[in-house]
Amino acid sequence: MSRLPLVFPAILSCLTFGLFLPASAAQAQECGGPEDPCSVALGTYFVAVPRIPTEAPRPAVLFFHGGGGWGSRIFKLRRQMTEEFTGRGYVVLAPNGKKRPGSRFGPGWSFIPQFPPHRDDLAFTREILADAEKRFAIDPDRVLMTGYSIGGSIVSYLACRDPDIATAYAPVAGGFWRPHPEDCAGPVRLLHTHGWRDQTVPLEGRPLSSPGVEQGDIHETMRQWRTENSCDKYRPDTFVTDGPFWRRIWTHCAPGTALEFALHAGGHEVPADWAGLAMDWFESLTVLGGGSE
């Protein structure tokens, strides 16, 4: 997993990039705004870009919405999160899920092991990243893939299927479902965030109304990542307990990997301070491949 080092110029600041423009309002961008998503062969996605133009390729956040949602929520419900990312120079890409034929639920993602896929979301994601590199000059070596709820689950499955599709992964309130994958394609750089009081996707998982469909155990999900990253112990070796997150960090793992589990006191939500946590973690990976030595 050899990539170039992360370089985030120190001149970027929230004062400089504090606001974002929908892509439709930004210079030389013909799609992506709240009323005009960009199209690729397998679907559509929305975009928010920093206000200040630049000739240099930008880092990107690819954010997968929760069940029944829509990518355009980055301009409304997730606006504060979006502004935090664009405020630090990131382009935010927000794909749209697809509704399963015959389902009473809204758009979602293809990952539940018991259901045949209604779209190849790995191929869809590759299309988005290739399209955004051309349209919005994103840097393919600086992509943070994240998502909320089942959006966090699809992030986990994409990381498992192709660890190199993004630079690092930061699922929120969603992980693997039962049966958990028996194996993944390789090690990852991953930050998992979850609410201690989450009752929608509890840490232990839960069965749903469809027979045989169960959310997975987040602790088992983290065990799988420890195995993939060749961490030498089950337990983490670094703990951070000041601030809004209780962070468990594994550093004695394979070179080029990173693994962290962040708990917060809330429920099924993207906590207010999460975007800052995710960006700080991502930017701390001074050599792409992670912080493990």
pLDDT tens-digit map of 156-166: 999 999 999 99
The whole-number pLDDT of residue 107 equals 87
Q: How confident is the model at residue 286 (pLDDT cuts 50, 70, 90)?
A: low
For the four alpha carbons of 134, 161, 226 and 4, in that order, the dihedral sign comes to negative
Q: What is the average pLDDT across 260-272? A: 97
Q: How confident is the model at residue 7 (pLDDT cuts 50, 70, 90)?
A: very low
Q: How confident is the model at residue 116 (pLDDT cuts 50, 70, 90)?
A: confident
The whole-number pLDDT of residue 288 equals 42
Q: How confident is the model at residue 240 (pLDDT cuts 50, 70, 90)?
A: very high
CATH class entry, domain 14-283: alpha beta
The CA–CA distances, whole Å, from 76 to 81, 115, 237 equal 10, 31, 39
Q: What is the average pLDDT across 191-205? A: 98
Q: What is the average pLDDT across 21-50? A: 81
Distance between CA atoms of residues 147 and 66, nearest Å: 7
List CB contacts of 26: < 8 A, sequence separation 6 or more: 49, 53
> Which of 1-5, 8-12, 188-192 is modeled with the greatest confidence?
188-192
The whole-number pLDDT of residue 217 equals 97
| Per-domain residue ranges of the chain | 14-283
- Pairing mode, strands 168-172 and 91-95: unpaired
Q: Could you report the per-residue pLDDT of 136-180, keeping only the tens digit for each?
A: 999 999 999 999 999 999 999 999 999 999 999 999 999 999 999
The CA–CA distances, whole Å, from 104 to 89, 100, 160, 177 equal 38, 9, 28, 20
pLDDT at 204 over 90: yes
- Cβ–Cβ < 8 Å for 185, 169: no
The whole-number pLDDT of residue 6 equals 44
pLDDT at 45 over 70: yes
Q: What is the pTM of this model?
A: 0.88
The whole-number pLDDT of residue 264 equals 98
Q: How confident is the model at residue 115 (pLDDT cuts 50, 70, 90)?
A: confident
